[in-house]
Chains A and B, each alone.
Chain A
Amino acid sequence: QVQLVQSGAEVKKPGASVKVSCKASEYSFTAYYIHWVRQAPGQGLEWMGWINPKSGDTNYAQKFQGWVTMTGDTSISTAYMEVSRLGPDDTAVYYCAREGKSSYFFDYWGQGTVVIVSS
């Protein structure tokens, strides 16, 4: 059974950074892109970008370019998403999701990681 297991909730102060992990299991980690999607409280889904775990190539939504970094560690089948210079508007649930084979849709999702930004 394919699983994406994310790291636990975080509370950060404004201006800090946060790094969320997403550990994949029961499939070949390098064969599928991992995307990151966030959801602010009471709001809809917002796509942030993707990483190709095999090559390390990334593509970020324009809004997140320059302050979000996606990386991967193939030795432990884990993807990471780091947000720097956090502000209160970054309070959200952050999800990783696996893209189906060359399909542009998400067939498996992580359970979500709550990030709260508060002074």
Chain B
Amino acid sequence: SYEVTQPLSVSVALGQTARISCGGNNIGSKNVHWYQQRPGQAPVLVIYSDYNRPSGIPERFSGSNSGNTATLTISRAQAGDEADYYCQVWDSNIVFGTGTKVTVL
């Protein structure tokens, strides 16, 4: 089955840029989606199909996907961005990444 790996944690200084990777074999050929999950809450879609933002998601969130790595970028990080982030693809079935905890320092 297809596997997707993410770093366990990423730290970013307030106002700086965080980059979260999502690795998988030739993941660039797939559509990658990203979810933010704050503690005790349900996940929220922040990027779909590699780089598209749903309505209501700040422009500070962006995505890219090429080769074996997809990336979620959070610009001008805010305290409210502290959360777990999951990437997700479809490969015969739904596959979630392992999740990354983002800490804003």
Contacts and interface: CB of A to CB of B under 8 A. Distances in A.
Contact of A104 (B31, B35, B97, B99): B31
Nearest to B99: A44
Interface stretch (A13-21, A23-31, A74-82, A109-117): A109-117
B48 to A, nearest CB: 5
A59 B90 CA distance: 14
Contacts, number: 53
Interface size, A (range): 20 to 34
A88 interface: no
Interface of A: 35, 37, 44-47, 59, 61, 95, 97, 100, 103-107, 109-112
B43 A109 contact: yes
B88 interface: yes
B42 A109 contact: yes
Contacts of A110: 42
B96 interface: yes
